Amino acid sequence: MSARELFTFRNPYFSAGVGLAAGLFVLTALGGFIVLPYAQTELKFAGLWDAICSAAGLPQRSASVPTAKVGPRLSEAVLTPTMLARPGQESIGRGATLAQRCAICHGPTGISRADSPNLAGQYASVIYKELLDFRSGARRNAVMSPFAVDLKDQDMADLAAYYAYLPRLPAYHPTPQLPRPRIVIYGAPVRGIAPCGSCHGSLDNKTGSPWLEGQSEAYLKAQLQAFASGQRTNDISQQMRNIARAMTPQEIDEAAAYYASQPAEIVKTTD
């Protein structure tokens, strides 16, 4: 029993096995790399090699395809769940100093009296990402944008650390807690809307998604409407735009009112 006896074309099993396998591979490769690309009349190729490269999955820009229209600036923030975890005392202290100029809208304790977001105890990654987006122009606001323009990355990280460090306090104008509306509990699976809590904290938190409890109703509603109309575009992969577009105006009202009426203390901590 030797390999020489087996691996020779005199062995009918070897020649049949190798012949059939090789033949099939060549045949299917011809089909997959040449026949099929040309069978799709909407695809245009510069030549045979171009067609083969396209079928092999080599990324290329075809000259015949017009480049995508330049849309609004998109968020360039790259976040990982552990990026801003465990900041040093120095970072928090620097953040506290920098935060003095935020207090006019966001409140000296991070609780707003002006329908701006409450920042006390917000996830650090959220504050960091929004500041980055305001600076890059991916998110725009007449009041907020000028504040972010001159911030350095380290300033933003320090601000994020400081606000995440502050204790969560009751909102300034608390309303009686409302029952959870259907859209918040279940979302609307058929319309592709997940329950709010699957990203915003009560079930799970996805990096970059804020907790919403106790935020201003007017602010929440305005943001949902801005996402729905496409005014706000700094949600990566259009996550929030897709959801807000599919929500009815009534559902937007209900969700905003519900979250505004919740105490911020119930939000899960970050670690």
Partner 1 sequence: MLVNRKLVLAHFWLAFAVFGFALFLGAWQMFVRSPLYTWISNPEWYYRSLTAHGTVMGYVFPTLVAMGFGYAISESALKQPLVGVRWAWTGFWLIVAGSVMAMVPVALGRASVLYTFYPPLIGSAFYYIGVVLVVVGSWIWVALMSINLRVWRREHPGEPVPLAMFANVAGSYLWAWTAVGAALELLLQIIPVALGWRTTIDAGLARVFFSWTLHAIVYFWLMPTYIAYYTIVPRAIGGRLYSDTMGRIAFILFLVVAMPIGIHHTFADPQVGAGFKFIHSAFTALVALPTLLTVFTICASVEIAARLRGGRGPFGWIAALPWDNPIMLAVAFSFVLLGFGGAGGLINMSYQLDTTIHNTQWITGHFHLIFGGAIVIMYFAIAYDLWPHLTGRALPTLSLVRAQLWLWFVGMIVTTFPWHWVGILGMPRRMAYYDYSDPAISPQAFSVTLSAIGAFVLLISGLLFLYILATAHRQPATDAGAYRFSVPVHPVRTVPLALNSYAIWVALMIGLTITNYAYPILTLAARSDTSVPAVYVGAQ
Give the residues lining the site for partner 1 (CB under 8 A): 1, 3, 5-7, 11, 13-14, 17-18, 21, 24-25, 27-29, 31-33, 36-37, 52, 54-58, 78-82, 123, 185-186, 188-190, 195, 198, 201, 203-207, 268, 270-271
Q: How far is the CB of 75 from partner 1 (least distance, A)?
A: 13
In the complex with partner 1, which residue's Cβ is closer, 205 or 216?
205
In contact, 214 and 200? CB cutoff 8 Å: no
Whether the Cβ atoms of residue 124 and residue 113 lie closer than 8 Å to each other: no
Q: CB-wise, 39 or 142, nearer to partner 1?
A: 39
Task: Select from 219, 37, 225 the least CA-distant residue to 117.
Answer: 219
* Residue number with CB closer to partner 1 (174 or 192): 192
Least separation in angstroms between residue 150's CB and partner 1 is 28
Between residues 28 and 248, which has the closer beta carbon with respect to partner 1? 28
H-only helix segments in the chain:
3-6, 12-30, 36-39, 48-56, 89-98, 103-106, 124-136, 144-149, 153-165, 182-186, 197-200, 217-229, 239-246, 249-260
- As measured in angstroms, the least distance from the Cβ of 5 to partner 1 is 6
Per DSSP, 170 falls in state -
Q: How far is the CB of 207 from partner 1 (least distance, A)?
A: 7
SS3 state at 205:
strand
